[in-house]
Amino acid sequence: MHFANVKGAYSFQVNKRANKIEIKNAVEKIYGVKVDKVHTANHKGKKRRKGRTFGVTSSWKKAVVYLEPDYHIDLF
C-alpha cells in the first residue's frame, strides 16, 4: 500500500537550501492543498568509481510532506 493512501504523505526531492517553511508554502501554492507537517532529510552523495577515476554523486534533500486529512494530490 502506498504511503500517500495510508498517512497522506508525499515525498519530494527539493533544493538543498530550502527550509521546511519554504517547502510547505511551495507545495500549498503549486498543488492547492493544505500541509499539516513537513519532515526533511539530507542524503549524502555516494562514492562511485569508473576505471581509475573516482567521483561522488550529488548530495540531495528529501522532503516528506504530510497533508491535512481532507486533501490529497493526484499522482496520475
CATH number of 51's domain? 3.30.70.330
Q: For residue range 42-53, what is the model confidence (pLDDT) as tens digits?
A: 999 999 999 999
pLDDT at 25: 97
Question: Does residue 74 have a pLDDT over 90?
Answer: no
For residues 61 and 76, give the distance between their C-alpha atoms in angstroms, rounded to a whole number.
Answer: 24
Whether the pLDDT of residue 1 is over 70: the answer is: no
Query: What range defines the domain where residue 16 resides?
Result: 6-67
Q: CA 31: distance to chain centroid?
A: 14
Residue 72 within any structural domain of the chain: no
Q: Is 51 inside any structural domain?
A: yes
Cα 12 from Cα 57, distance rounded (Å)? 18
Residue with cell 562511485: 48
The confidence band for 8, taking pLDDT boundaries of 50, 70 and 90, is confident
Res. 3: pLDDT tops 90 = no
Domains of the chain: total: 1
Domain contains 53: yes
Q: Which amino acid is at 73?
A: I
